[in-house]
Amino acid sequence: MCGIVGYVGDEQAAPILLDGLRRLEYRGYDSAGVAVHDDGRIELVRAVGKLRNLEKALTENPLTGTVGVGHTRWATHGRPSEINAHPHIAGPIAVVHNGIIENHLELRQELEADGFGMSSDTDTEIVAHLVHRETKAGRDLLDAVRRALAQVEGTYAIAVLSTEQVDRVIVAKNASPLVIGVSREAMYCASDIPALLPYTDEMLFLEDDEIAVLEATRFSLSTLEGAPVERETQRISWSPVMAEKAGYKHFMLKEIFEQPRALEDTLRGRLDRESADVNALEIGLTDEDAKKIERVVLLACGTSHHATVAGRYWIEELTGLQAIAELASEFRGRDAVIGEGDLVIAVSQSGETIDTLMAAREAKQKGAKVLAIANVIGSAIPRMADASFYTHAGPEIGVASTKCFMAQLANLLMFSIWLGRRRGAVDDAQATEIVEGLARVPHLIEERLQSTHESIKDLMRTFADAHDVLFLGRGLSFPMALEGALKLKEISYVHAEGYAAGEMKHGPIALLDAHVPVIVLLPRDRHYDRSLSNLQEARAREAKIIAITVEGDSQAQALCDAFVEIAPTHEALTPFVSVVPLQLYAYCVADHKGTDVDQPRNLAKTVTVE
Ligand code: F6R
């Protein structure tokens, strides 16, 4: 996630901006930059990679001035490069931005037709040009920013400088966070509290659709429509480490709670609710390409592999094509049969996993088309692929993947709908139900997160000392059972197995006794009755049963030692809601045991060894 900082005061701005950016590093970034007012001009320094590169560039090219903005960029539109790094300049205007401008393509065309030349591939530069167009029409900076934002759809936190009003920074927000730091001598702004803690503990959190003018000794706040807003500042007593995690004990928990937002950002601008379809222009595959696909092969490792198993089920159901979900590490070195007519979907949070990269490369060499689903823009897998469909979950810091898994599920389901529509395999009614349901999923997750966390914290104590745990699911719940078991293993070091519920009687049933908790996924889908029978088979062996049930399912709940309720959804959407309690279960057990949740032993976030 991008990080913004801004300063208006009487000290040199650049060192304060750089220090603020350092304190936002935990948000993840691939490039950075600062812009400072210097003698009537805006001077800009940007660099790709770590902040030390920006620091070096600033040493070679020092900026003097007491008003400025800084930015760490996590690429969402346009690969990491100096040109795409923020701040973006248009005439007298400099802008830094966190968020996604949904209608950027349309606005880009319009601005280009009006003679505004673009120098980057970003959605942010559009905002700079929109503000410039308004100032050219004679408006002052505040009015120009207001009018520019009225043309924008999507999410943003922005900070804007202008050489025409050099004593101020304008900030505004919609959905993305922005906090103002207030002191006697200076005003600050940032995406997050830690950037400001060394300078002030007096802060004001900007609300959606609010805009503020920051000057050295005062600030004014109003709505985007121009109504003045009066709000008291707050005193923040957080330690810097607490602040980085937004008060959560671990990044993993923070990321579990960020899932509604990660999903919303990933769905944004892609779900076409009007025609019950998916807008996948960015993928660059034509309707003709869609019709030529004969088979889909999904390649991934670990948690991403579990997303692809769900993807396989969706593709088969919604497109009628054969789909296979292969472990990338097993695909390699066995002379797998693949070639023209096959679409390979390589799924990877990091976009760098060596097994996935090499497997996809082999498939490409053999004639298959490769589509990458990755979270890191410009990473190795999208670079080698023929096309990319990025997840927009923001950077994931916890080693155990949670919000990126959620976003991968979203992209796989969206791609299945897109392909199914192109091939005439999904009718309007089915597509409408799924598209409408998917649009509501972030809300369904959000409204239960807190209560699910509380109830799992409670129920987990009874089972936390178990040495073995079995997770069972059928259909789309099978990959969620795999994922629940992997999460528990990797962060709490408890032995866990994810099993297709129907397979239990072919082996794992021998393990069951009163000491083995069995977590059964029981959404109200076509598999419900058979899964319930499996639950009863486990119960008959005295296993302790924890069921993940749809709310109010008294039939299943009566058969369990404990249960967690999930929201009812269309059956295609059950993975989104049922994986959340499994993530929280793993988290609560690990926290109870006191393991290093964010950096479990022996694991790495990006696996670049075979
Ligand atoms: C588990 C986890 C790993 C990754 C795997 C693939 O929580 O995160 O299993 O899913 O290492 O990584 P990516 O998705 O980066 O290819």
Give one DSSP letter per residue of 300-340, joined into a string.
E-HHHHHHHHHHHHHHHHHH--EEEEEEHHHHTTTT----T
pLDDT tens, residue by residue, 197-247 = 899 999 998 999 999 999 999 999 999 999 999 999 988 777 766 677 888
For the segment 115-140, what is each residue's pLDDT rounded down to a tens digit?
999 999 999 999 999 999 999 999 99
DSSP 83: T
Residue 96, φ and ψ in degrees, nearest 5: -115, 150
Phi, psi (5° rounding) for residue 373? -115, 110
* Angstrom distance (rounded) from CA 348 to CA 356: 7
Residue 17: predicted pLDDT: 98
The response to whether residue 356 sits with its C-beta less than 6 Å from ligand 1 reads yes
Furthest-apart CA pair in the chain: how many Å? 80
Average pLDDT rounded to a whole number, residues 437-452: 98
Classify 478 as helix, strand or coil.
helix
Residue 239, strand partner residues: none
Which residue type is seen at 286? T
Q: What is the pLDDT of residue 242?
A: 67
At 566, the pLDDT band (50, 70, 90 cuts) reads: very high
- pLDDT above 80 for 608: no
Query: Who contacts 549 (Cβ-Cβ below 8 Å, separation ≥6)?
Result: 522, 556, 557, 560, 563, 564, 565, 566
Distance of CA 433 to the CA centre of its chain: 24
Is the Cβ atom of 308 under 6 angstroms away from ligand 1?
Answer: no
State if residue 303 touches ligand 1 by the CB under 6 angstroms criterion: yes
CATH class of the domain defined by 3-244: alpha beta
What the block records as the tokens of 205 is 């959190």
Q: Residue-wise over 196-235: b if at least 16 C-beta within 10 A, else e? A: bbebbbbbbebeeebbbbbbbeebebbebeeeeeeeeeee
Query: How confident is the model over 172-180, as a mean pLDDT?
Result: 91
pLDDT of residue 95: 98
Q: Where are the domains of the chain?
A: 3-244, 252-593
CA distance 167 to 165: 6
Q: Is 605 a catalytic residue?
A: yes
- Which pLDDT does position 610 carry in this prediction? 67
**Burial grade of 28 (CB within 10 A; 0-12, 13-18, 19 or more):** middle
- Ligand 1 atom at shortest distance from the alpha carbon of 381: 16
Cβ of 402 closer than 6 Å to ligand 1, yes or no, is no
For 386-414, b/e burial (b = at least 16 CB within 10 A) is bbbbbbbbbbbbbbbbbbbbbbbbbbbbb
Q: What angle do CA 418, 422, 427 make, to 5 degrees?
A: 85
Q: Does residue 350's CB lie within 6 angstroms of at least one atom of ligand 1?
A: yes
Residue nearest atom 3 in ligand 1 by C-alpha distance:
302
Tell me what pLDDT residue 194 has. 83
Phi and psi at residue 16, in whole multiples of 5°? Answer: -70, -40
Confirm whether 3-244 and 252-593 share one CATH topology: no
Q: Which of 366, 457, 593, 605 is catalytic?
A: 605
Residue 588: the pLDDT is 97
Residue 26 zone, left/alpha/beta (φ > 0; ψ -120 to 50; rest): alpha
Q: What is the pLDDT of residues 47-64, one digit of tens each?
A: 999 899 999 999 999 999
Site of tokens 């801004």: 6
> How many degrees, rounded to 5, is the angle at CA 575 between CA 570 and CA 581?
115
> Which one of 401, 408, 492 would you pick to mutate in the ligand 1 pocket, going by the greatest count of ligand atoms within 8 A of its CB?
401
Task: Write out 348-377 in H/E/C secondary structure.
Answer: ECCCCCHHHHHHHHHHHHCCCEEEEEECCC
**Quick one: pLDDT at residue 126?**
96
Question: How many A from CA of 401 to the centre of ligand 1?
Answer: 6
Ligand 1 center–CA 481 separation, angstroms: 16
Q: How many A from CA of 297 to the centre of ligand 1?
A: 18
404 is catalytic: no
Give 293's pLDDT tier (boundaries 50, 70, 90): very high
* Residue 526, burial from CB neighbour count under 10 angstroms (0-12, 13-18, 19+): exposed
* Distance from C-alpha of 513 to C-alpha of 515, rounded to nearest angstrom: 5
Q: How far apart are CA 524 and CA 551, in angstroms?
A: 10
Per-residue pLDDT of 478-525, as tens digits, reads 999 999 999 999 999 999 999 999 999 999 999 999 999 999 999 999
409 neighbors 575 (Cβ within 8 angstroms): yes
Among 6, 3, 45, 53, smallest CA distance to 24 is for: 3
Task: Work out the mean pLDDT of the chain and round it to a whole number.
Answer: 94
CA of 350 relative to ligand 1 center, distance in Å: 8
pLDDT above 90: percentage of residues in the chain = 85
Pocket flag, ligand 1, residue 301 (CB < 6 Å): yes
35 touches 161 (CB < 8 A): yes
CA distance 236 to 199: 12
Give the 3-state DSSP-derived string for 207-223, with helices as H, strands as E and coil as C: CCCEEEEEECCEEEEEE
Mean pLDDT within 525-551: 96
Q: What are phi and psi of 190, to 5 degrees?
A: -165, 160
Q: Report the CATH fold assignment for 252-593.
A: Rossmann fold (3.40.50)
Round to whole Å and give the CA distance between 338 and 152. Answer: 44
Instruction: State the Cα torsion 574-576-579-580 to the nearest 10°.
Output: -120
Please tell me which residue, 282 or 303, carries the higher pLDDT value. 303
Task: Check pocket membership of 304 for ligand 1, CB cut-off 6 A.
Answer: yes
| Confidence grade of residue 74 (pLDDT, cut at 50, 70, 90) | confident
pLDDT at 583 over 90: yes
Nearest to 219 by CA among 236, 228, 338, 386: 228
pLDDT in tens, 365-397: 999 999 999 998 878 899 899 999 999 998 888
- Residue 370: what pLDDT? 97
Taking the C-alpha atoms of residue 563 and residue 539, their distance in angstroms, rounded to an integer, is: 14
Report phi then psi at 264, rounded to 5.
Answer: -60, -45
What mean pLDDT comes out for the span 562-566? 97
Among residues 388, 392, 390, 410, the alpha carbon closest in space to that of 307 is found at 410
Shortest-distance atom of ligand 1 to CA 374: 14
pLDDT tens digits along 11-39: 999 999 999 999 888 877 889 999 999 88
> Between residues 247 and 179, which one has the greater pLDDT?
179
pLDDT band at 168 (very low <50, low <70, confident <90, very high): very high
Place of tokens 């408006």: 139
What are 442's two structure tokens? 């972030």
Q: 378 burial class (0-12, 13-18, 19+ CB within 10 angstroms)? A: middle
Ligand 1 centroid, distance to 14 Cα (angstroms): 37
